[in-house]
Structure 1
Amino acid sequence: MKFAHLAQRLFNVPLAIHPAKAEVIMASLAERLGVTHIAHAGPAEAGAWDDDDDYYNRQGDNPRAGYDLLGSAAVIPIRGTLVQRLGTLRPYSGMTGYDGIRQNFLMAMSDPKVEAIVLDIDSPGGEVSGCFDLVDAIYNARGEKPIWAILNESAYSAAYAIASAADQITVPRTGGTGSIGVIWMHMDWSKALAEGGFKVTFITHGECKADGHPEIPLSKEARERFQADIDAMGDLFVRTVARNRGLSEKVVRGTQARTYLGAEGISLGLADRVAAPDAAFLALLQQLAAN
């Protein structure tokens, strides 16, 4: 029943994720979201978007850390869909947890062998919950050690929010930045339930208590209220990126959650230079050696 767990993380919650990625996930789950699969996932079902990504789950040189120390730079991998709590220090099964990124970042900041931190990012974004607290923690650590976001290949939405907190962002020619926005997808299961012979009755205290549940259609009033929440989160996203990148809120808001390829993002101030990941990492090591 892992697909029920995935559906609960995808639908009826605010996401800072590239729309194309959301569509891919929705398509992959569509055949599995029949009435017979509507259930609540237990702890053992917390799992995967896919099952073939073990590379970043290795232990590295320091079994207590989820980052690799290459030269004097700590490389923190940020891969796949971003979630609030994953319970591992490295990306696992196509996901990375904000909890793991935070712990890795704090360990690297306090590690005397680490002179610089690389956020090695290739992610379409993910959950809003937990994202901006992590972004603030990275931003507030600026000046202690160099922090570079090296995109390998893209950083969209929540992943871009994280990248924007770094001192410098490099992006490959074919990589991307942007998607500064929030999306909320309401899954209405009411027709499927009715066709399956099910009728759900909510007994609530408070007339808005059941708003947003997938078992019932979304009312006009509930939609307006949720839109206000999404707008508030979007405004937070805009303010955060504007602060991190030294841009005006008008410029950031004017992107309207568009994505930008390579040098196009640099022209807007969303990244600093075009560079292949290995070239960007070498430039950082050279900078450290020169200092």
Structure 2
Amino acid sequence: MKQFWITFFGSIVGVIVGSVLTVILGIFLIGGLIGMAVEGARTETALPQTAMVLELDLRNGRLDSPSRSPFGFAEPLSVVDVVRTLEQAESDTRVAGIFIRANEFGMSPGVAEELRGAIAEFRNAGKFVVTHAQGFEGTSVTGYFAVSGSDEIWLQDTASFTPAGLASEVMFLGGLFERFGAVPQFEQFHEFKNAANTYTQSGFTEAHREATLSYMGSIYDTAVARIASDRDVSEDALRGIFEDAPHTAEEAQTFGLIDRLGHVIEAREATLARAGGQGSFINIERYAEQAAPAWNNGPIIALIEGQGAIVTGDAPVGAFGGEEQIGGDFMSENILAAADDPSVRAIVIRVDSPGGSAIASDQVWHAVNRAREAGKPVIVSMASMAASGGYYLAAPADYVLAHETTLTGSIGVLGGKIVLDGTFDRVGLNAETVSVGGEYATAFSASEEWSESQRAAYRSQMADIYDDFTQRVADGRDLPLERVLEIARGRVWTGAQALDLGLVDEIGGLRDAVDAARQFAGIDPDQAIRLRRFPTQQTPLEAFQQMFGVSADTAQTAARLNALMELPEVRAALEARAAADQPGIQMRSNASLPN
């Protein structure tokens, strides 16, 4: 009877709590819809017909491609869409220029390089670019690198100019695991495939340090060369300025790296004066929504985007704090859909990924090959990173472009587990494994270490995948296998280095990739084209309906998950778990983008 009443009242409490959570979620959704409606009402006002100055705020991070999350409407315009919007504005006679709020602390080198290229094209079209920074306070050169080609760079006179170079911090957990009795067991092909080092080592190995310093040095050299060209200073002088940081705003102006000193309001006033005094500022997000390009019946080039770790399946839509992912099913199905569409002349695949599942990477690789067999040229545009599995799926493409600062390569595989039996012992927890069948049935048990035969079998499995990976690169890039084996071994390269090695075909961004697709498809350079996303981008409401349906139970669960996922300890634990316990053999790079 006692248990009955406990169950009875527990059920009542559960219903009440669930109802409250449902109401809270409903309020959240209604508030979001109201906010969207207000924003929509605001943007319904027609754009001015003359002297618009676009506003672009780089102080917050941006995804490379639009989020698939139903909550993605809150995200700033993606890097891809910023590039496309600026390209459209180049021919818009109403747009006089752009006013940029600079990033103060640094960003991904690949993002900085893509934006710098878009700014250069915008200026070449006869539009002006004015940038204001409330300080370049971080030590990274990338925030300045993104805007160094502006017509005018303003700096608040009380701020500092501190770009000094690039830095990357790697956390090694080997000593921590040892202290708590955990045993990381990993196999990797080969010495430069250092993602496992985070768990097995307490510091840099010689190979890990060599590769990291090499790609960081390459990125730094690129940034110095491009900034020096933009600001008309010698590379040696610029290196000296960076290496002698920090500097005052006045010193930065003396060096020629800053044009004018003043507050943002003064920069805005000067920008409007430059537009003729009668202009108005228009947020780039608003412009992108309302200034849709004129329809044309030109040939179609498909744009398929993937960002984040590569996983099997569709990859759930990023929400509740989750990261964007590339689902093997989702991406390969869209590539095949574009290949089967008779109106599509070529396919551009945009990749921003450190890699992931070997199986899912191979699935996308196969789809790329099927598209080519169907007669559709496939062009890959690498963003900040297209490493390991991200490079695997790019290898068979007709043409591959990367930024000079893109991190790519990492041709190798790794996998393993962390044995926690010793850790359990220290807290009085006992986990025992029972099994039937062969010895390999317990290979992935977290409570017992590999036997010699299990390790050998696992390593043999990885060796087969490594052989497939390197052969696919050799075939796709038309390189001798012996050469691929020399430059593989899991090593990360920058796009500049990869070009010299034959791993990519050209240094360039998204617009260059579209131009390449046009050429491969035999489309006249002056003919208008249509760049069509596969799949078509969903509205927030469509994405929400796809994620949640209309079930009240699902809404209750979503509310609980949302609250749970916001806890910092839960987020940290999930990230560590996801990294250390990925099922299957991985084609993943943990090369950190320097900052």
TM-score (normalizing by structure 1): 0.72
For the pair 1:107 / 2:337, whether they are aligned, the reply is yes
For the pair 1:161 / 2:401, whether they are aligned, the reply is no
Structure showing the higher helix proportion among its residues: 2
1:1-291 superposed matches below 5 A: 72-87=300-315, 93-142=323-372, 144-205=375-436, 206-255=438-487, 256-285=489-518, 288=521, 289-290=523-524
Instruction: Rate the CA distance shift 1:119–1:182 in 2: closer, same or farther, 3 A.
Output: same
Task: Pick the structure with greater CA Rg.
Answer: 2
Could you tell me how far 1:275 is from its partner in structure 2? Answer: 0.9
The one-letter amino acid of 1:244's match is: G
Find the aligned partners of 2:187 and 2:514 in 1 and give their Cα distance: 34
Gaps in structure 2 of 5+ consecutive residues: 1-183, 201-297, 526-595
The one-letter amino acid of 1:101's match is: M
Find the aligned partners of 1:274 and 1:173 in 2 and give their Cα distance: 6
Instruction: Rate the CA distance shift 1:13–1:270 in 2: closer, same or farther, 3 A.
Output: same
Instruction: Rate the CA distance shift 1:71–1:25 in 2: closer, same or farther, 3 A.
Output: farther
* Contact 2:439 2:454 (C-alpha < 8 Å) held by counterparts: no
Instruction: Rate the CA distance shift 1:139–1:169 in 2: closer, same or farther, 3 A.
Output: same
Find the aligned partners of 1:90 and 1:249 in 2 and give their Cα distance: 38
Could you tell me how far 1:19 is from its partner in structure 2? Answer: 5.5
Could you tell me how far 1:199 is from its partner in structure 2? Answer: 1.4
What is the percent sequence identity of the aligned residues? 26
Find the aligned partners of 1:224 and 1:189 in 2 and give their Cα distance: 21
* Contact 2:335 2:371 (C-alpha < 8 Å) held by counterparts: no
SS for the counterpart of 2:450 is coil
The one-letter amino acid of 2:368's match is: I
Find the aligned partners of 1:13 and 1:85 in 2 and give their Cα distance: 25
* Contact 1:127 1:158 (C-alpha < 8 Å) held by counterparts: yes
Could you list the per-position Cα deviations for residues 184-231 of structure 1 after superposition, in whole angstroms to 9, with x for gaps in the alignment? 132111112212222122222233321231121223332222111111
Gaps in structure 1 of 5+ consecutive residues: 1-10, 27-69
Could you list the per-position Cα deviations for residues 75-125 of structure 1 after superposition, in whole angstroms to 9, with x for gaps in the alignment? 111111000113569997321101011110111112233211011011110
Find the aligned partners of 1:123 and 1:167 in 2 and give their Cα distance: 20
SS for the counterpart of 1:142 is helix
Find the aligned partners of 1:135 and 1:268 in 2 and give their Cα distance: 21
Number of residue pairs matched? 237
Aligned to 1:6: none
More displaced stretch, 168-177 vs 213-222: 213-222
Could you tell me how far 1:162 is from its partner in structure 2? Answer: 0.6
Instruction: Rate the CA distance shift 1:21–1:208 in 2: closer, same or farther, 3 A.
Output: closer
The one-letter amino acid of 2:446's match is: P
Could you list the per-position Cα deviations for residues 135-180 of structure 1 after superposition, in whole angstroms to 9, with x for gaps in the alignment? 1231243251111001112211111011112100001111132111
SS for the counterpart of 2:439 is coil
Find the aligned partners of 2:341 and 2:357 in 1 and give their Cα distance: 29
Find the aligned partners of 2:341 and 2:420 in 1 and give their Cα distance: 50
* Contact 2:193 2:490 (C-alpha < 8 Å) held by counterparts: no
TM-score (normalizing by structure 2): 0.37
The one-letter amino acid of 2:442's match is: A
Find the aligned partners of 1:227 and 1:21 in 2 and give their Cα distance: 16
SS for the counterpart of 2:440 is coil
More displaced stretch, 73-82 vs 195-204: 195-204
